Chains A and B, each alone.
Chain A
Amino acid sequence: MNKRTLIYILGLILFLGFFIYGIGSEQKTEARQKGSVICLSCIGIG
């Protein structure tokens, strides 16, 4: 396994770890909560 392959695989594992952590943590719930209320900034009035 060369250095480049190792970097790619480590990167993939790192981001997969972030994502799985996010799914299992409060960040997913927070993302859902933020997305479920009318975002006044997005509409341009807040």
Chain B
Amino acid sequence: MFGWLYKRVTRYYVYIVSFFAANNHFSKNIYQGKLKGFFFPGLNCYACPLARHSCPLGSFQNFIGVKTFPLYVLGFMGLLGITLGRLVCGWICPFGFFQELLYRIKTFKIRVSQKYSYSKYVVLFFLAMLLPFLTTQPWFCKLCPAGGIEAGIPMVAMHSYLRSLIGALFYVKITIVIALISFSVLIKRPFCRFVCPLGAIYGIFNKFTFFKIKVDEKKCIECYTCQTVCPMDVEIFKNPDSVDCIRCGECIKACPTNALYYKYGID
């Protein structure tokens, strides 16, 4: 019954440990200490009462909103991107983990073509860059389902003065959360593949990172096992540098001919 858990226990363990390493402020009020000056690598809302670090995407929008070039955030994301590619999504981001767990629920599944995955760059440009620049508001945060789950629901539940401020936007956000949970049961990591602007930024670096997945073409029999087990549904043997590869290594574990392997360094 728990066979899938044994197979994934290492990566799931890293997800859980990294979540609690960064989210351990057990209080009704949000953390305001020095660690908030540093970013959590994944999508982890800084309005969450547990969070000790800032969300890089939230800060990115705030800097753009005040017309400041976000050197600090870009430096942070660029360093992670060059050294690790999109590994953060596959090993650390709690929201990706949440979606993977939901997809384990046994029901019919829907496959969505990978060609739509570039939609996250549209989200990145409009909601995380253009609208914040024009309106000074972090528009992606307003609609972010991770913020809805980690901050919206708990903060509104714990603070009566916030409940009195609830308006249409909150209900829109909760609708997005419900839709995302429903889609995550049916589709592999839908938010990460089609929406997440942070994943979009890290994904750019998959072509330029030191941390790569390589395919031994002599060994590959094109059996599609790698795509079947891939949490992002990537045809990894065709495009190991895909912007959607989260370097989780599930394909490497599952490959029947050991044609896939990690490589760290410059080609």
Contacts and interface: CB of A to CB of B under 8 A. Distances in A.
Nearest to B171: A44
A27 B68 contact: yes
B266 A16 contact: no
Contacts of B151: 39, 42-43
Contacts, number: 145
A32 B165 CA distance: 25
Given A31-B39, A32-B37, A44-B147, A23 B72 contact: yes
B88 to A, nearest CB: 15
A18 B36 contact: no
A4 B212 CA distance: 15
A44 B148 contact: yes
Given A35-B54, A42-B58, A43-B155, A20 B75 contact: yes
B71 interface: yes
Contacts of A40: 165
Interface string B117-143: 000000000000000000001100110
Contacts of B147: 39, 41-44
Nearest to A34: B62
Contacts of A27: 63, 68, 70-73
Contact of B210 (A8, A20, A42): A8
Nearest to B146: A42
Interface stretch (B11-19, B76-84, B216-224, B241-249): B76-84
B178 to A, nearest CB: 13
Given A31-B59, A44-B152, A21 B71 contact: yes
Interface in B3-33: 30-32
Contacts of A22: 71-73, 75-76
Given A11-B82, A18-B72, A4 B266 contact: yes
A15 B205 CA distance: 12
Contact of A8 (B34, B79, B166, B208): B208
B34 to A, nearest CB: 7
Contacts of B70: 27
Nearest to A39: B47
Interface in B130-186: 137-138, 141-142, 144, 147-148, 151-152, 155-156, 162, 165-167, 169-170, 172-174
